[in-house]
Structure 1
Amino acid sequence: MDFSLWTCAGRGHETYAPEEVELAERLRVDTAAGEAWRCLRCGDFVIGEPRGRGRADDAPEVPRGRLLRDRYIMRLLAVERVGRAVVLVLLAAGVMKLRGSQEKWKEAWERELPLLQPLADQLGWNPDHSKLVHWLEKAFTLSSTTLTWLIVALLAYAAIQVVEAVGLWRVARWGEYFAVIATSIFLPLEIYELTEKVTILRVGALLVNLAAIVWLLWSKRLFGLHGGARAYYAEHHSESLMTVERAAAEANA
């Protein structure tokens, strides 16, 4: 998949006319339909006026190639974090509703649970051995203060997921560090949950987090790995089409 062409198809080409004559000549051609400027993202020549003009130093830093692919991966991770945040907020809302009327919900639960038994028998599900049922029954006995702290913890965890999502979506350097640190902190909890019971959802969540941590550490060169921040920014700069063409123009000067 050519992420550059895909992005240009959705957002339009990123053309730029530098003031430096030699560099402009490398990015511009004359055609029967008029002048055409080279897209800084996909490299194709686009007929018409350039989207921007100015000094080469002021040209936008347009991600392309592998860097653009990495941006899509980070935004997929950001969407996954938003999904987690939504689930956590819904859980917090449920606990908040429970906190206001525990006795009422407990009576309704005890009244309705026996009615589910015929369906449970057909499905081969035993409510007496269900951790979800045990968790709900335990929740009815928790104090209002404990439930309040549980709500605070759920909302705090949701806030962490949102901050991660914002940093990853914006492809910010601080977001990459925050995502690695925050995700690593909760790994022991996810591993502990697997020691209690192995489920597809828990295994999948753990694998996604492990893959995200390893990928961010290596591809984004965090904490000095793989050359560190200097190599990271040098790679971004060298991948820029404007930088490549400027180097070629200076070599031919």
Structure 2
Amino acid sequence: MKVVNKGLRAVAVLEACKGVVSLLVGFGLHVLAGHNMRQFAENIVSRLHLNPAGHLPSIFIHSASSLTDARMGLLAIGALVYSLIRLVEAYGLWNGLVWTEWFALLSGAIYLPFEIYEMIFHTSLLGVGAFLINIMIVGYMAHSLFSQETTDNQI
């Protein structure tokens, strides 16, 4: 096992945060299963003082009302699986396991084409921020892995 630097630890913390947030979303979906999702969405729109007939609030209410208990269960399971993947990745990065560095590089690079598409056709500050963070992580992981390989080959 190699010496773990602060950069890998920072990426590990970010991945752990994504895992914890996903876990909370999964538990939230599990708790909400069996409830009237239309009423829940209408309450949220009302608390935010939004017009329920407005474009975005009406899309939100319609989408929430179409969620069945089975879909909510599948979404909760998906969130749990995603959370486990991110937490295992965080553990591996924190402890300097090389396979998790490769996993972080590949899993981050997979999102780049979708983020670029989103920035071109639906530009938002959140999308640009996510892209910049992801490109920094992918670049850092590539640098970390490939500089390590050249060092290993020179020995």
Report how far residue 204 of structure 1 moved. 1.6
Alignment counterpart, residue 72 of structure 2, candidates 147, 151, 174:
147
Give, in whole Å, the separation in 2 of the partners of 1:201 and 1:112.
22
Contact 1:160 1:182 in 2 (8 A): no
Report how far residue 198 of structure 1 moved. 2.9
Contact 1:74 1:168 in 2 (8 A): yes
Give, in whole Å, the separation in 1 of the partners of 2:153 and 2:9.
22
State the one-letter code of the partner of 1:93.
Answer: F
> Which residue in 2 is equivalent to 1:184?
109
Identity rate of aligned residues, in percent?
27
Secondary structure of the structure 1 residue equivalent to 2:131: helix
Give, in whole Å, the separation in 1 of the partners of 2:77 and 2:117.
22
Can you list the C-alpha shifts for 1:76-106, whole angstroms capped at 9, x where unaligned?
Answer: 11111111112111211222122221x2x43
State the one-letter code of the partner of 2:18.
Answer: R
The 1:73–1:141 alpha-carbon spacing in structure 2 relative to 1, beyond 3 Å, is: same
Can you list the C-alpha shifts for 1:3-31, whole angstroms capped at 9, x where unaligned?
Answer: xxxxxxxxxxxxxxxxxxxxxxxxxxxxx
Q: How does 1:75-224 map to 2 (within 5 A)?
A: 75-101=9-35, 103=36, 105-110=37-42, 113-114=45-46, 116-117=48-49, 120=50, 128-130=54-56, 134-194=59-119, 197-221=122-146
Give, in whole Å, the separation in 2 of the partners of 1:147 and 1:210.
32
Secondary structure of the structure 2 residue equivalent to 1:158: helix
Q: Which runs of 5+ in 1 are unaligned?
A: 1-60, 238-253
Contact 1:89 1:154 in 2 (8 A): yes
Report how far residue 165 of structure 1 moved. 0.9
Report how far residue 111 of structure 1 moved. 5.5
Q: TM-score, normalised by structure 2?
A: 0.77
Report how far residue 194 of structure 1 moved. 4.1
Kindly report structure 1 stretches of 4+ aligned residues shifted beyond 6 Å: none
Q: How does 1:5-16 map to 2 (within 5 A)?
A: none
Report how far residue 115 of structure 1 moved. 5.9
Aligned length: 155
The 1:194–1:86 alpha-carbon spacing in structure 2 relative to 1, beyond 3 Å, is: farther
The 1:98–1:195 alpha-carbon spacing in structure 2 relative to 1, beyond 3 Å, is: farther
Give, in whole Å, the separation in 1 of the partners of 2:112 and 2:98.
22
Give, in whole Å, the separation in 2 of the partners of 1:94 and 1:204.
26
Report how far residue 153 of structure 1 moved. 1.7
Contact 1:167 1:175 in 2 (8 A): yes
Secondary structure of the structure 2 residue equivalent to 1:100: coil
Q: Which structure: greater strand fraction?
A: 1
Structure with the greater relative contact order (CA < 8 A, sep ≥ 6): 1 or 2?
Answer: 2
CA RMSD of superposed structures (Å): 3.2
Give, in whole Å, the separation in 1 of the partners of 2:2 and 2:86.
27
